[in-house]
A and B are shown apart, each in its own frame.
Chain A
Amino acid sequence: MKILVAVKRVVDAYVKIRVKSDGSGVDLANAKMAVNPFCEIAIEEAIRLKEKGVADEVIAVSIGEKSCQEQIRTALALGADRGIHVDAAADVQPLAVARVLQKLVEKEGIDLVLLGKQSIDSDNNQVGQMLGALTGMPQGTFACKLEVADGKAVVTREVDGGEQTVSLKLPAVVTTDLRLNEPRYASLPNIMKAKKKQIDTVTPDELGVDVSSGLKVVSVEAPPARSAGIKVESIDELISKLKTEAKVI
């Protein structure tokens, strides 16, 4: 079977971001960029399925500017077989991303799509579910355990009250939660080998997808700052402050 893994280039999770003073967005001019942490987990899971002999081919895809080829290379260094770069603007919205992925699923004959549950920049948590709707595939979101066998994907999902298990008929979409696995590091030889692996480039136009969106960002602002409070010296002082000053206990 063939697995498609969608990978997003985002600001590194440890970078403290700065909102532009004109309210037009977040300043990423010199920020360190990386593979979205949830996407790393999706790559890892795909590679493990290949190592187990469940999958024959793992294809990594990223949608965005040319720079996102770096993130595809990272996926290739980790063990993906080939990459597809969909050349588009940096901020393609979830529905358009899902439409692009839908076309690739059809074109490549994909049995399982693995995505992160959300990107840490836009925090939407939408693409996997939208892809499910567009393709008519079942979805296993927020997966913390995945078993693929006999034409089915059995997914244990993290839900508000605990865990839930669903069985999905392949082809299916699975989005990863943080506890699904611990992603590996790429070794230097594998990074070198990844340079020889193939990355094809297509445009949304070539795939017949219109990337315009009904949603417009009017402004981006910094949230109200929370100022540091005071340090107390003892538990007694803490309890008395909470009782008399803050009046919360």
Chain B
Amino acid sequence: MSILVIAEHDNAALKPATLNTITAASEIGGDITVLVAGSGCDAVAQQAAAVNGVSKVLVADNAAYENQLPENLAELIAEVGKDSSHILAPASTSGKNFMPRVAALLGVAQISDITAVKGADTFVRPIYAGNALATVQSSDAVKVITVRGTAFDEAAKEGGSGSVEALDIVKSQDIATFVGEELTESERPELTGAKIVISGGRGMQNGENFAMLEKVADKLGAAIGASRAAVDAGFVPNDMQVGQTGKIVAPDLYIAVGISGAIQHLAGMKDSKVIVAINKDEEAPIFQVADYGLVADLFQAIPELEEKL
């Protein structure tokens, strides 16, 4: 079997989600080739070649791939991967964007957000906001798959000695152009990879109050998340949203503050190792999944927690 893994990167560094995806690829078993498509992405290719288990890195270095526009990227991946047994990418917003396009170009199904590999053609994926797990079997010649990062460990960044090969395939069209981006600046660990996450919900009442969570987060080295209610109310930017339609996290410790625990939110965090809930409503559904629950007013509890840590 030959597995093509699509690297996620920002043209300078390999994103950790790629490492989780490589682990999923090694569970399938077979030769693992990583495709790095970008612009000025040599460093990324070197990092990918060093990852344990990678046998080859293909580099498509062209301005056409700089911003990972799916119209260009999907054509490239479909051409490079058409003879592979599997094509894998992280189930990030980027992977979710181009992989279905790749699958349709190849005329095969796409399997989204797998959480387990049961065999070379059999995979597990959550459906209904994680309230059911479907085991699916593919008879397609090429299995096009996105991988839920939190369900697989990261492959070791070192120990690999993959060869690096440049690709001279340029897929460029003028139907879509990149205009710009506005990224949220943060000193804190990335939400999806953080060991500890502290999240606020509607109970925070406004955006300013999130400063209280920041203080706790700084003491714990935690990332800050939010429920959809907090995002919709404009308290915090949407890239902090944890849930079915936001980010999926599975940290060692998840602290839910002023979050009721709707199905949509639980879908994004219920695989956390330890869940703590702080909420003044003792009937809140979050207490049904919390390992430790504290029924208290968060405006007293959070400053106290910060002080005592």
Interface set of A (CB-CB < 8 Å, partner B): 11, 13-14, 16-17, 19, 26, 93-95, 98, 117-118, 120-134, 136-139, 141-142, 144, 154, 157-169, 172, 177-179, 213-223, 226, 228-236, 238-239, 241-242, 246, 248-249
Contact = CB atoms under 8 A, between A and B. Distances in A.
A217 B192 CA distance: 28
A210 to B, nearest CB: 11
A123 B196 contact: no
23 contacts: A16-B131, A93-B109, A94-B110, A118-B245, A124-B100, A126-B100, A129-B104, A132-B71, A133-B103, A133-B104, A139-B70, A158-B238, A160-B93, A162-B239, A168-B176, A177-B238, A215-B139, A216-B136, A223-B133, A235-B304, A248-B252, A248-B253, A248-B273
Contacts of B270: 223, 226
Nearest to A117: B245
Contact of A129 (B70, B182, B228): B70
Contacts of A122: 127
A17 B100 contact: no
B128 A179 contact: no
Interface in B166-204: 174-184, 192, 196
Given A138-B175, A166-B176, A215-B136, A123 B113 contact: yes
A159 B70 CA distance: 13
Contacts of A229: 275, 290-293
B133 A221 contact: yes
Contact of B109 (A19, A213, A223): A213
A168 to B, nearest CB: 5
Contact of B129 (A123, A132, A233): A123
Given A138-B175, A164-B181, 5 more contacts: A129-B70, A214-B140, A215-B138, A217-B135, A246-B292
Interface centre among B67, B138, B232, B245 (most CB of A within 10 A): B245
Given A120-B128, A229-B291, A178 B245 contact: yes
Contacts of A11: 128
B237 interface: yes
Interface of B: 67, 69-71, 74, 92-94, 96-105, 107-113, 122, 125-140, 174-184, 192, 196, 220, 228, 231-232, 237-239, 244-245, 247, 252-253, 263-264, 270, 273-276, 282, 287-296, 301, 304-305, 308-309
Given A129-B98, A138-B71, A246-B292, A160 B239 contact: yes
A111 to B, nearest CB: 13
Contact of A162 (B67, B136, B175, B182): B182
Interface centre among B70, B264, B287 (most CB of A within 10 A): B70
B136 A235 contact: no
Contacts of B105: 133
A228 B287 contact: yes
Nearest to A241: B292
A237 to B, nearest CB: 8
A215 B109 contact: yes
Nearest to B264: A13
Contacts of A219: 134-135
B12 to A, nearest CB: 13
Contacts of B139: 214-216
A223 B292 contact: no
A144 B238 contact: yes
Contacts of A214: 108-109, 138-140
Contacts of A128: 100
Contacts of B239: 158-162
A238 B273 CA distance: 16
A180 to B, nearest CB: 11
Given A129-B70, A222-B132, A154 B100 contact: no
A95 B100 CA distance: 9
A249 B304 CA distance: 16
A243 to B, nearest CB: 10
A246 B175 contact: no
B181 A165 contact: yes
Contacts of B179: 154, 165-167
Contacts of A98: 104
Nearest to A122: B127
A159 B93 contact: yes
Contact of B253 (A213, A217, A249): A249
A218 B174 CA distance: 42
A123 B128 contact: yes
Contacts of A238: 276, 292, 294, 305
A163 B240 CA distance: 12
A41 B88 CA distance: 30
Contacts of A137: 175
A25 to B, nearest CB: 8
A226 B192 CA distance: 21
Contact of A126 (B112, B138, B176): B112
Contacts of B103: 95, 126, 130, 133
The 4 closest A-B pairs by CB, nearest first: A229-B291, A133-B104, A129-B100, A214-B140
A230 B176 contact: no
